[in-house]
Amino acid sequence: MILTQCAVCATELGLSLGKKCGRCSTRYCGPECQVQHWKEGGHDKLCKPIKKAGGAEQYNANKKYAEAVAVAAEACAEDTKGQTCFICTQALHWKTKEGLVRGCACRGTAGFAHVSCLAEQVKILFAEVEESNLDCEVKNERWHRWHTCSLCEQQYHGVVSCALGWACWKTYVGRPETDHIRSNAMNLLGNGLADVKHHEDTLTVREADLAMMRRIGASEESILVVQGNLASTYTALGRLEEASRIVRDVYSGYLKLAGEEHEKTLIEANNYASSLRQLKRFEEAKSLMLKMMPVARRVFGGNHEVMLMMRQNYALALYRDDGATLDDFREAVNTFEDLARIARRVLGGSHPLTTEIEQTLQKVRAALRARETP
Ligand SMILES: [Zn+2]
Ligand SMILES: [Zn+2]
Ligand SMILES: [Zn+2]
Ligand SMILES: [Zn+2]
């Protein structure tokens, strides 16, 4: 699934092209590379261990996992010096000898752990709910442990998020495609890779996820979620045209599925307007926001986060447009002043959206001043 290249020459094979080793499923572009890999690439010795590990995909996941754990422990070495794991109480893991990590909001002596211990813990917790058929909510709560710390309730970030992404994928890679846990694991791996800005790898995972969802005939809503993730990856890669096309589809998908007043529809309308703005298609961005802002106001009221984001989007499109008039600049400044007041009151001064709005307010004010000075 995640392996989409020939093991010898790295030709891109997508999800179905090429040829597989009949025993271990290692992928090749064709018989020549396969023969070469066996004779000179060491596959004659590796084939058996790969098959024994559960096939090429599992073998790859295990290997990537070990690498990601080493990277995470190394990056956290300074912070974790002299500490012990809150799960196994040791400094070095008894079996893997890996070092400690911490990548959440835990402070002081709290929250140090081995990635293996974190992964083992959530694996067991989740297996429990799967066996006993507990309801969805409990299942979701336990699944959260793959990405959220149980002590501080904040999401893991950076290298720790990435290592847990591989841990999760390695745990569930053997699940059949129709088991939605497989897609969840792929999603988590994609998020982890995005957290360390490995956007090309994220793209491979997102595309594989989307292709799988289509193949198994997943619900339209699940497909829209994966498409939304894919669009973020394209944006991160600077492939803005592709991102915008997908966001447009996601927006119109939710519009059809849930109607214009649904929260998801409004969020995606806003995302689509952002993508248009990044492409400098300001008129389209503005007219979409003018159409959807009254709907959002009716549904959520003026203080809701979505409403703030939409107004922000509109004001940005207003003053960044090359044809912006002095009045447009003034309207943008007024809007950002108003947004800053609301955000401070409703979300608080340390909320990322508040910070973002306040920083932009400074920029728009400066832009207005520059414009007013002859
Ligand atoms: Zn090849
Ligand atoms: Zn093989
Ligand atoms: Zn431990
Ligand atoms: Zn924590």
Q: How far is the CA of 352 from the centre of ligand 4 (A)?
A: 19
Q: How far is CA 218 from the centre of its chain?
A: 20
Sorted by sequence, the CB contacts under 8 Å of residue 205 that are 6+ apart come out as 2, 186, 189, 190, 193
pLDDT reported for residue 350: 85
More confident: 362 or 139: 362
Q: Which of 233, 211, 205 is nearest to 57 (CA)?
A: 205
Backbone angles phi, psi at 130, to 5 degrees: -65, -40
Confidence of residue 1 (pLDDT cuts 50, 70, 90): low
Q: Following DSSP, what letter does each residue of 69-126 receive, concatenated? A: HHHHHHHHHHHHTT---TTT--SS-TTT----B--SS--TT---B-HHHHHHHHHHHH
pLDDT digits 0-9 by tens, 261-286: 999 999 999 999 999 999 999 999 99
Degrees to nearest 5, angle at CA 262 with 260 and 266: 70
pLDDT digits 0-9 by tens, 338-357: 999 999 999 898 888 999 99
d(CA 184, CA 189): 9
pTM to 2 decimal places: 0.85
pLDDT digits 0-9 by tens, 281-333: 999 999 999 999 999 999 999 999 999 999 999 999 999 998 999 999 999 99
Q: How far is the CA of 204 from the centre of ligand 1 (A)?
A: 18
Q: Which ligand is nearest to the CA of 157?
A: 4
pLDDT reported for residue 352: 86
Mean pLDDT taken over the chain = 94
Q: Which ligand is nearest to the CA of 53?
A: 2
The encoded tokens of residue 373 equal: 């000075």
**Res. 3: pLDDT tops 70:** yes
Q: How far is the CA of 131 from the centre of ligand 1 (A)?
A: 42
Sorted by sequence, the CB contacts under 8 Å of residue 339 that are 6+ apart come out as 308, 311, 312, 315, 357, 361
pLDDT digits 0-9 by tens, 74-98: 999 999 999 999 999 999 999 999 9
pLDDT digits 0-9 by tens, 191-249: 999 999 999 999 999 999 999 999 899 999 999 999 999 999 999 999 999 999 999 99
Neighbours of ion ligand 1 (CB under 5 A): 6, 8-9, 11, 29, 33
Q: How far is the CA of 113 from the centre of ligand 4 (A)?
A: 10
Q: How far is the CA of 368 from the centre of ligand 1 (A)?
A: 57
Q: Which of 12, 24, 19, 22 is nearest to 57 (CA)?
A: 24
Q: How far is the CA of 95 from the centre of ligand 4 (A)?
A: 24
pLDDT reported for residue 16: 76
The encoded tokens of residue 356 equal: 């973002």
Paired residues of 101 in beta bridges? 113
**Res. 133: pLDDT tops 90:** no
Name residue, tokens 């549904």: 299
d(CA 190, CA 205): 6
- Taking CA atoms, 372 is separated from 305, 359, 363, 367, in Å, by 32, 20, 14, 9
Confidence of residue 186 (pLDDT cuts 50, 70, 90): very high
Q: How far is the CA of 230 from the centre of ligand 1 (A)?
A: 27
pLDDT reported for residue 13: 86
Across the range 162-178, mean pLDDT stands at 95
Q: How far is the CA of 5 from the centre of ligand 2 (A)?
A: 15
pLDDT reported for residue 358: 96
